[in-house]
Structure 1
Amino acid sequence: MEGIRYYNRYTGREEREQVLGEKYLQWIYGTSTGRAALHVLIKRGVFSRLLGWLKNRPSSARSIHSFVEEYGINMEDSLKGMGEFKHFNDFFYRRLKPGARPLAGGEDTAVFPADARHMGWERADRIKSVFVKGQSFDLPALMGSEALAGRYAEGAVVLSRLCPTDYHRFHFPVSGVPGPWTRLGGPLASVSPYCLRRRLAWLWTNKRNLTLIRSELWGEVAMLEVGATGVG
């Protein structure tokens, strides 16, 4: 499989993404035996719960230092120092120092919801294909409602993909009042481009939460969090 490449707007260069467990992803989503393991176990919630339990064990903290070194994570932004994390998950969803992620503009500016690689489209109903030709973007399936998809068909879409090395918290992109969230979907497959190249539908079959935000300036904004293996 090809590597995952993206444009880094801070360096102004196209770069290759460091992928956690890249060889495993290639096996799982690129071989018949891997795909069998995916459907039997890996996409199941019990697998992600087991991973979460292991990463909550105090012994898992020993892997933090090597993880930081291998993936070049800037720990100067972290509220806690390297030796202060109780376990790996404590590091994974670490809090950052105040001001580490300043907001651009004022309340009339929509911001990215997370550290991520972002893709955007001016209108949801004009997304013809994503990643691979022949795979159509299914807005009604993604939102879990034909009626809701109809309301957002002419709206802009921003897809923000976090990878395991990112700061793993996310925020609303606009100021407003959130309504109750709705849970959708079921399995927890990976949403890495390695996997979406073969089956884009993971975006609308994976477990996900939908929240509608009522904003005085922006109207109603839909925030959809898509789960993935290990972080569902």
Structure 2
Amino acid sequence: MQKWLYRLLIELTNHRFSSLILKKFSQSRASAILIPAYAKIYSIDQVEMEKKLTEFKTLHELFVRKIKKEHRVIDKNESSVISPVDAVVEETGIVMSSKEIIVKNKRYSIAEMLGDEESLSKYIGGIFLILYLSPSHYHRIHSPISGEITKQWELGSKSYPVNRLGLKYGREPLSKNFRKVTEIHTDGGHLAMVKVGAMFVNSIETTHTSKYITKGEEIAYFSFGSTVILLFEKDCFTLKSTIKTSYDVRVGEVIGYKME
């Protein structure tokens, strides 16, 4: 009953029209009245922000705020892989031979998630990592490694929630929501970064457009809380032992290492 009710409420509100209204409002001057309450409710760290709270003209500006570089130190070890976002680790595991991953006891098709059979094959047997960004998090996305961007594509149109309830009761939001995929090649192999749109606001803005990217460099941002999925090519990455479910990570923090 709970699952049915949850899905009904989401289907009733998850439409392009309602998404457009929310997006328009968040980008309007009228939304500024909510900024102090939003900052308080979500315990936004104002010390690390580049701008003062009073300088944001819209709620959207606060969503996509930048922070001072000294508050996110990028690990310089050449073999390290860093967290691309401030987030909570929702799940880690291995991509199964059935081309699926298990998240919150549900199976998700990696073939559907990527929508690219050619790219998919290299990730079978590799490690995956699910990183959830809540509305309180810093929403800019950085590159976890240095390398060459070999491919970028987008797919999907839905915008179901990607929080714990969404993962538990939703209709496979990780593989059906609007998403942008960036594949990066480095000397240790390939990595696919799947940026998944959240409920109502599907906006994932790409900010890096050149062929090569440096570890820690900004690559995109979310307009609201969402999820990043990292897929690592088989036998090219080891996960740091401290990176477990419900662990809080920050941009620049080491999450694992490339294998020699």
Scaled by the length of structure 2, the TM-score of the pair is 0.70
Between Structure 1 and Structure 2, which shows a larger proportion of strand residues? 2
Aligned counterpart, 1:77: 48
Give the Cα separation in 2 of the matches to 1:128 and 1:53. Answer: 36
Change (3 A) 1:174 1:231: farther
2:8 counterpart residue number: 36
For the pair 1:130 / 2:103, whether they are aligned, the reply is: yes
1:95 is paired with a residue of what secondary structure? coil
Matched residue SS, 2:111: helix
Residue 98 of structure 1: CA displacement?
Answer: 1.9
Verify the 8 A CA contact 2:108 2:175 in the aligned structure 1: no
Secondary structure in 1 aligned to 2:125? coil
Which is worse superposed, 96-105 or 107-116? Answer: 96-105
Q: Distance in 2 between matches of 1:103 and 1:195?
A: 31
Residue in 2 aligned with 1:50?
Answer: 21
Is the Cα contact below 8 Å between 2:94 and 2:128 reproduced in 1?
A: yes
List per-residue Cα deviations over 1:116-137 (Å, max 9, x = no partner): 11145352117763213xx213
1:108 aligned to 2:79? yes
Partner of 1:206: 177
* 1:112 alignment partner AA: S
Which of 190, 195, 198 is the equivalent residue of 1:220? 190
Q: Any conservation in 1 of the 2:95–2:101 contact (CA below 8 Å)?
A: no
Kindly provide the amino acid, as one letter, of the partner of residue 131 in structure 1: K
Secondary structure at the residue paired with 2:181? strand
Go from structure 1 to structure 2 and tell me whether the alpha carbon gap of 1:154 and 1:138 turns closer, same or farther (over 3 Å shift).
same
Matched to 2:102, the amino acid is S
Percent sequence identity over aligned pairs: 25
The one-letter amino acid of 1:165's match is: S
User: Per-residue CA shift, 1:27-52, capped at 9, x if unaligned?
Assistant: xx7563x5334324x33333222211
Of 85-94 and 218-227, deviating more is 218-227
Which structure dedicates a bigger proportion of its chain to helix? Answer: 1
Which runs of 4 or more aligned residues in structure 1 lie more than 6 Å from their structure 2 counterparts after TM superposition?
Answer: none
Backbone CA RMSD of aligned residues: 2.2
Q: Could you tell me how far apart the structure 1 residues matched to 2:92 and 2:107 are?
A: 14
Q: Is the CA contact (8 Å cut-off) linking 1:73 and 1:165 kept in structure 2? A: yes
Q: 1:92 to 1:74 in 2, by over 3 A?
A: same
Q: In 2 relative to 1, CA 119–218 (structure 1 residues): closer, same or farther, beyond 3 Å?
A: farther
Distance 1:80 1:155 in 2: 40
CA distance in 1, matches of 2:149, 2:20: 28
Aligned pairs, how many? 200
1:229 maps to 2:184: no
List alignment gaps of at least 5 residues for structure 1: 1-28
Distance 1:74 1:150 in 2: 41
Deviates further, 203-212 or 105-114: 105-114
